[in-house]
Amino acid sequence: MRIGVIGQSGDIPEHVKKLAEELGREIALRGAVLLTGGTNGVMEHVSKGAKLEKGLVVGILPGDSLDVANEYIDIPITTGMSFDYRSLVLIHSSDVVIMLGGGNGTLGEVSAAYLNRKPVIVIEPSGGWAERIKEIAYEGKYLDHRKNTNLDFANTPQEALDIAFRIVKDNK
């Protein structure tokens, strides 16, 4: 299974770093492949967690340079694209998407996942949009009336992965 993790870049709070590393470790322990945007913030810390457990980490990078990749990426893929278009490659390459925290870029990735019927699991206690999206969601779990795919909510990385594996199994 390919699990895409999305979340804010740059400086992130300590509790989000810990959640991201825990999520990365759990992804690796369950034998899934981690896909991220490959740079810093949530992407770096989830990648670090996966590498601590010998997991495989793929970074879908913006632009043409490997210089933006964090040190935990095993397979860097340069897209030649800007951040927003690179995010579309990440979403389309993932079987399921897990959201940690996040700002506007992450919100765009959630919208892209929704439009493409990719399952999204939101780890609510991670702050940012992950903490607020349920409040504005249609019926508490959709992004609009079309109900393309529902948003699932978790409190821990383990719970998020339990949901992810159940969804992928049910969709086969």
In this predicted structure, the answer to whether residue 171 has a pLDDT above a threshold of 90 is no
Query: Which pLDDT value is given to residue 172?
Result: 73
* Per-residue pLDDT tens digits for 36-85: 999 999 999 999 999 999 999 999 999 999 999 999 999 999 999 999 99
Indicate the pTM of the whole model: 0.97
46 within 8 A of 25, measured Cβ to Cβ: no
* Per-residue pLDDT tens digits for 75-126: 999 999 999 999 999 999 999 999 999 999 999 999 999 999 999 999 999 9
Q: Can you say how many angstroms the Cα of residue 104 is from the centroid of all Cα atoms in its chain?
A: 14
Work out the angle at residue 38's Cα, subtended by the Cα atoms of residues 37 and 39, and round it to the nearest 5 degrees.
100
Average model confidence (pLDDT) across the chain: 96
Query: Which pLDDT value is given to residue 50?
Result: 98
Query: Which pLDDT value is given to residue 95?
Result: 97
**CATH code at 2-170:** 3.40.50.450
In this predicted structure, the answer to whether residue 148 has a pLDDT above a threshold of 80 is yes
Q: What are the structural domain ranges in the chain?
A: 2-170
* Per-residue pLDDT tens digits for 128-138: 999 999 999 99
